[in-house]
Structure 1
Amino acid sequence: MHSVRFLFLPMVLSLLLSGCAQTRETSSTIFAMNTVMELTAYGDSGQQVLDQATERIYQLEHLLSVTDENSDISAINHGEGAWVPVSQETFQLLSLALSYGRETQGALDITAYSAVHAWGFTTGEYRVPGPEELAELAARIDYTQVELDPEGCRVRLPQGMQLDLGSIAKGWASDLLAELAGGEPAIFNLGGNVRTAGDKPDGSPWRIGIQTPEAGSSGYLGALELTGSQAVITSGGYERYFEEDGQTYWHIMDPETAAPARSGLKSVTIVSPLGVYCDALSTAVFVRGADWGADFWRTHQDFEMVLVLEDGSLWVTAGLAGSFTLAEDYQDLEVTVIQL
């Protein structure tokens, strides 16, 4: 790795610049999956794409919501150790989640929901569990205990365990929306999970901002310029957190401790053509830390990333070095480029 200085490129606080004036642009904003989503499509079929995308998002929310008592996930969590039939889509996403669990050696573990709930992130009634409770919660986090029956499209979860697909659901949804665009240009911002489809109508790169990972800040650290269909997904402690006795606690749990992950990272941004992969890796790297993430990148070489460390430094993989620019307020920040 070596350090470089990035030149400032003037940027706006929106996620992307407007499209070509000659191309019709259609946008809508909805609230789903517990976040605000901004959907934009280009061309004469833009409204049709957005209508289909909106319907698709609500369908997925109904299947995957951990709080909807009629969802597949709720049925699994209340299955009391019995086999539970689920939809093909839920089964497919669960299979993906477990494969990512194996690939990241458990850094992504979808069975950490009990810990998230115990800390109050699902109810807003925040609290810090004691050591004995944390040990009990950690004992109930183990993605390898989730059983899948492909022939019957069924899932079985040991009694006392709970799962949640929130760590990859929006990334997966963004991939499905990109497919709906059918090759036409579009960009979908699912609560900070950004997915482009096709090339920008005016031929310029898509310009996507990376939020400053400071609690309560709405500013931008920098921007990425990308072409074609790409996903840009960020995980960070600034998204959902609370403070107690001078300590900040966030919602991203370390499966080994059932407590907020403390890896020395403030935020992780993953870039690849596959949104569900970006979503999974952004969580896994945040849990394991910068060195683990750099080694994983060198081994796989199928994604790029931007890491913001708690010590104030910034790491960027070599594939993004030419497309990432710092915002004006961060021009003095020294950037380390991760090399193979």
Structure 2
Amino acid sequence: MQNLGVAITGSGSAAPSTCLDNETLSQLVETSDEWIASRTGIRQRRLAQASESLSAIATSAAKEAIAMAGISPLDVDLIILATSTSDDLFGSACQIQTQLGAINAVAFDLTAACSGFIFGLVTAAQYIRTGVYQNVVLIGADVLSRWVDWQDRRTCVLFGDGAGAVVLQAHQSDRLLGFEIRSDGTQNSSLNLSYSPQSQQLMPGVAVGKGNFQPITMNGKEIYRFAVQKVPEVIDKALFRANLSVDAIDWLLLHQANQRILDAVADRMNIPSHKIISNLAKYGNTSAASIPLALDDVVRTGQIKNGDIIAASGFGAGLTWGAVIFQWGV
């Protein structure tokens, strides 16, 4: 098969209409707007109502990306949904395929938590580079409000719901310039949304687990330390693979977890603050959705120009982390 290049030609985003700001949140748990904003940079977050599905939000984002790329849902060969909060534990990508009318597309879910979109970019690129598929829709979407303990101020102030999507297409030149992805399961306990089994006796000597998933738990100090150390390293490795220096970066696009992390990573890499893309004040931490949500914001406001070089990095549960260096557009 002929090896092809990869171009990212469209973006889209969607978020629930319900907005929970810090002032309102302080009525639910002991906190304040000043406390949250000074420590995280977050001012508000979007929350899905009980009647809203992840697949519907993700489909809206995908439709926008497909329209910007100038293709039809019938042209889509593959749909990858990066999520940890699917509507169905068996996966939601096929529901999105149906809602898009992308009847020719293969669809599957990918789970790598807050690194999911970065892992999805790398995965999608392999299908295109080997000539298997021409048009791939990658969606990062999460509805973390389903799994938040709203009495735990260490976590409930952080998370929000949303979706972002991009279209990747085969192209004569390769705009995905370099990447590096990593995992370390020894630190898994730092961030969890874990299953808690309860024994159910079927018959004498035979008991099975039938339990529930527990709310998100996180060691914030460990995650901060991990991100500030590992993200600059992995971006440097991706830049090395792309044969580029830090000075070549036009935009730094990190997982929108905490403004302090964004600023610390930029400072360690000597990247000026005006190159940092940040919208977490409006959305909070949307996990796999955060990078494409932030990307779509700056694309649609015209801040990102065709050919701009973006260093994108995700990090989170697993623990997983990774970086991709790419040029926007064709």
Q: Same fold (TM over 0.5)?
A: no
Normalising by structure 2, report the TM-score: 0.29
Return the structure number with greater helix share: 2
Bigger relative contact order (CA 8 A; separation at least 6):
2
Normalising by structure 1, report the TM-score: 0.28
